[in-house]
Amino acid sequence: MTLRLPFLWSFALLAVVLGCVSPEASRTEPSGKPVLRVGVTPNYPPLIDKVGGEMVGLEADLARAVAGPLGREARFVSLKWGDLLPALNEGRIDVIMSGMSVTPGRAAQARFTNPFLASGQMILVRANQASRYAVLRSLPLTSDRIAVEKGTTGDMFVQRRCPVAKRVAFRSIAKAVAALKAGDVDVVLHDAPAILEQAMRHEADGLVPIRGVVTEEWLAWAVRRDDEALATALNAALADLQADGTLDSLNHRWIPLYRTYWSPPSDQAP
């Protein structure tokens, strides 16, 4: 059943949301609408990236889509990954929409909306080695070279769960994938959306994803812990996008391999 806020409730909720933000957030765009300051680190295709001066990706489209029902216009604020949560809690942005997975540590610093995508750690390998990794539950036992992006949940997984693996940390997934192509590492471990995007980009290079995930994670948006009104409004807008098929359509547009390769970790993880 479609979860739509009645008109009067939507209007009242919008008034509460706008009353809870800082004066800077109430500045208007040329359209006359107040802004929704969306914190992003635009280096994570297919979720959020900057191309030709424009923010693109699944979360860029979703930010624009949910801002409308709030009577606001999305304004993207580019920040380093490590600055997103501090900027949120200092009131410099209103929401983080940047491929952020829900973790206990982050939940202690921010309030998360309902998730918009199931994710998890997925692996990319050379096609001629794919059979070695078909059983994902064996990954923690490998002594192979696993490439990760430093500081990510994938990096934490390797450090905590793969005691004999040779962890090789890179500053970006692009550098990790380049090392995989060159034969310098055996596996790239990262969030499913990023792995599937790299698989499409490097199909001609003989790189393939392995179906399934080794962890189950949820991607959601973060607001300040005391900003219940904004979280409620975002959840209502997201429910509408789910009900009318927009969310599924955008997921398929930006992550076309998702339906084929993502599956829960129950049959793969140890």
What local confidence, expressed as pLDDT, does residue 179 receive?
98
Q: Within this chain, do residues 62 and 33 fall inside the same structural domain, yes or no? A: yes
Looking at the structure, tell me whether residues 53 and 78 fall in a common domain.
yes
Q: Is the pLDDT of residue 270 over 50?
A: no
What is the pTM assigned to this prediction?
A: 0.83
Instruction: Please report the pLDDT score of residue 264 as a whole number.
Output: 79
Q: Which domain holds residue 186?
A: 121-209
In a domain, 267, yes or no: no
The pLDDT of residue 195 is 97
What is the predicted pLDDT for the residue at 226?
A: 97
Instruction: Please check whether residues 127 and 205 belong to one and the same domain.
Output: yes
Report the alpha-carbon distance of residue 118 to residue 91 in Å, rounded.
28
Contact 125, 198 (CB under 8 A): no
| Sign of CA pseudo-dihedral 177, 169, 77, 96 | positive
The total number of structural domains in the chain stands at: 2
Residue written as token pair 């290079």: 205
Q: What is the mean pLDDT of the chain?
A: 89
Within this chain, do residues 93 and 125 fall inside the same structural domain, yes or no? no
Quick check: 24 pLDDT over 80? no
Low-confidence winner among 19-28, 113-122, 178-187 (lowest mean pLDDT): 19-28
Q: What's the CA gap between 58 and 152, in Å, rounded?
A: 20
- Are residues 113 and 50 located together in one domain of the fold? yes
Q: Does one domain contain both 152 and 50?
A: no
Q: Is residue 263 part of a domain?
A: no
Determine the Cα angle at 59 with ends 53 and 62, to 5°: 105
Rounded Cα distance between 41 and 59, Å, is: 11
Taking the C-alpha atoms of residue 141 and residue 189, their distance in angstroms, rounded to an integer, is 15
* Other beta carbons within 10 Å of 38: 26
Beta bridge partners of 218: 118
Quickly list DSSP for 100-159: PBP-HHHHTTSEE---SEEE-EEEEEEGGGGGGGSSGGGGGG--SEEEEETTSHHHHHHH
